[in-house]
Chain A
């Protein structure tokens, strides 16, 4: 039986020699919306944009309409156009308007080609569309991924029962507390805090150290050493790597991995480099539903092969809901896996929200790696208590 349907209909007309009028309708089981956008044929710039709701969910959805104006002036052929629409229209107005606007603008780019081809045909009536485009061919150079290799996995563990929520532990004064998951700008484009500001904030709230885990970015040892000297503070290096199975925090791996790597290949590399892998926010769900809503139980989740390819599970992550953290904690407990905490901070206010409390002092990356493997640490809630006490 059909559970859901979304239709998008786009029609484009030409006005004069330099303007396209694009009308788009999105209609699905939940939403109905329309936009009218005008786009310059020569400069491919959005000249005007109007939106209209037919059906929506929250009583405040109409607030999205004026925010659409942010996209006026965008060049639809710019490299970052899609990204800007998602970020600006999607976030400030509404993701469904962003989706429809992209559909309209992608269509408009094709319509422009047709219009220019028609114009060209006025002086060259035999010109085919393929011939017109012939000068714009792109040769595919994409490298195929290497075949997957078998890698070492751990044996299954005994079962446990999941009844109560796993209590979040507060840090105690005896350990050594490091926020081992954080992002800085520009190394992570999604972050809005510089490395200097993140260090200042970490010092201010009383963390013993931080570990930089920018997305698929390897900090040079010299740069981190300079930061350590300049701030007189413990700054360590890790990396958050995107795999085909989600994000993984890796410590002790120097190779700069770009793009997507399979989790199995990453495991192979980590084993060869004697590195340590922590699955980050493993049960981060969607905006309106979490793992339970799709019938995922901790017992079922424990069967995920990915959990056999990592050394530890992040069960306190500052960017997910308490319920999602709790779910991860139950899964990790069921598998008797090591557990960590980290803020996943992308802005000052989140630094140290959660962290990992080690039993002994850590002074460098070798000691961090050894401590992670040893297992004498626990995830803790940190920032809230510290900031209220400042």
Chain B
């Protein structure tokens, strides 16, 4: 007989364009023990969170059952930018809060960032040209913070050959 999983999780994060200055990012979680949803709105170009909503419809955790959706409103006004995780952690609390919802806020914010990363990659994808190491080397030179940020940009990778470490 095939294996029967003891646990399943499905998490989906979507970013929608509301208008030319507004993105809506939502994260939906269904797993064996939890069902939760977070949705936030961010405006461009500041990438400022202007609205947020969250709910937990199924959970085993008391701190999530008792979580007031208004508690998420603390992040309104925060910009999705560098240092975001530290700010979210500080505003949304530590282990005695509903960490799942806090994590879902992070996922929504990552979704916004990744959707903009996708915009940067789209012209390349549309051109049909295979990305070369030169192209990525130029990216690292343009933003040296990428150096040693992952295996592809670590010393020893052909991409960073000849690039002076920061």
Contact = CB atoms under 8 A, between A and B. Distances in A.
Given A4-B114, A30-B117, A291-B45, A63 B152 contact: yes
Contact of B136 (A58, A129, A245): A58
Interface in B17-74: 17, 23, 31-33, 44-47, 60, 62-63, 66, 74
Q: Tell me what chain A mostly uses at the interface: helix, strand, loop, or mixed.
A: mixed
Contacts of A90: 150
Interface in B122-166: 131-133, 136, 139, 142-146, 148-154, 157-159, 165-166
B120 A289 contact: yes
Given A12-B7, A13-B4, A287 B87 contact: no
B109 to A, nearest CB: 11
B101 interface: no
B152 A259 contact: no
Given A2-B16, A4-B114, A59 B132 contact: yes
Contacts of B143: 287-288, 290, 321
A103 B158 CA distance: 31
Interface in A1-48: 1-14, 20, 28-30
B6 interface: yes
Interface of B: 3-17, 23, 31-33, 44-47, 60, 62-63, 66, 74, 77-79, 81-83, 86-87, 89-91, 93-97, 110-111, 113-121, 131-133, 136, 139, 142-146, 148-154, 157-159, 165-166
B96 A142 contact: yes
Interface string A255-266: 000011000000
B116 to A, nearest CB: 6
23 contacts: A2-B16, A4-B13, A5-B13, A7-B13, A8-B9, A29-B118, A60-B133, A64-B151, A99-B110, A103-B9, A138-B95, A142-B97, A145-B74, A244-B90, A245-B77, A286-B113, A287-B145, A287-B149, A288-B117, A320-B145, A321-B143, A321-B144, A321-B145
B45 A6 contact: no
Contacts of B11: 7-8, 103
A157 interface: no
Contacts of B81: 246, 284-286
A388 interface: no
Contacts of B90: 242, 244, 259-260
Given A4-B111, A12-B7, A286-B113, 8 more contacts: A7-B12, A13-B4, A107-B9, A244-B78, A284-B83, A286-B82, A293-B119, A294-B45
Name which of A4, A142, A245, A246 has the most chain B CB atoms within 10 A of its CB.
A4
Interface stretch (A108-116, A334-342, A370-378): A108-116
Contacts of A57: 121, 131, 136
Contacts of B120: 288-289, 293
Name which of A90, A115, A286 has the most chain B CB atoms within 10 A of its CB.
A286
Contacts of B47: 294
A150 interface: no
List the 8 closest A-B pairs by CB distance, nearest first.
A260-B90, A4-B115, A296-B45, A111-B7, A60-B152, A63-B151, A295-B45, A284-B82
Nearest to B93: A142
B113 A11 contact: no
A129 B32 CA distance: 12
B143 to A, nearest CB: 5
Given A289-B116, A294-B44, A3 B97 contact: no
Nearest to B25: A4
Contacts of A58: 131, 133, 136, 152-153, 159
Contacts of A271: none
A133 B6 contact: no
A139 B151 CA distance: 41
B6 A61 contact: no
Nearest to B96: A140
Given A244-B91, A294-B45, A3 B115 contact: yes
Contacts of A95: 150
A244 to B, nearest CB: 6
A5 B12 contact: yes
B116 A12 contact: no
Given A107-B31, A260-B91, A294-B45, A94 B6 contact: no
A216 to B, nearest CB: 10
Contact of B5 (A11, A99, A130, A288): A11
A166 interface: no
A6 B110 CA distance: 10
Nearest to A291: B45
B79 A140 contact: no
Contacts of A10: 7-10, 31
Interface in A57-87: 57-61, 63-64, 67
Given A2-B16, A64-B152, A138 B63 contact: yes
Contacts of A61: 151-152
Contact of A93 (B15, B32, B117, B150): B150
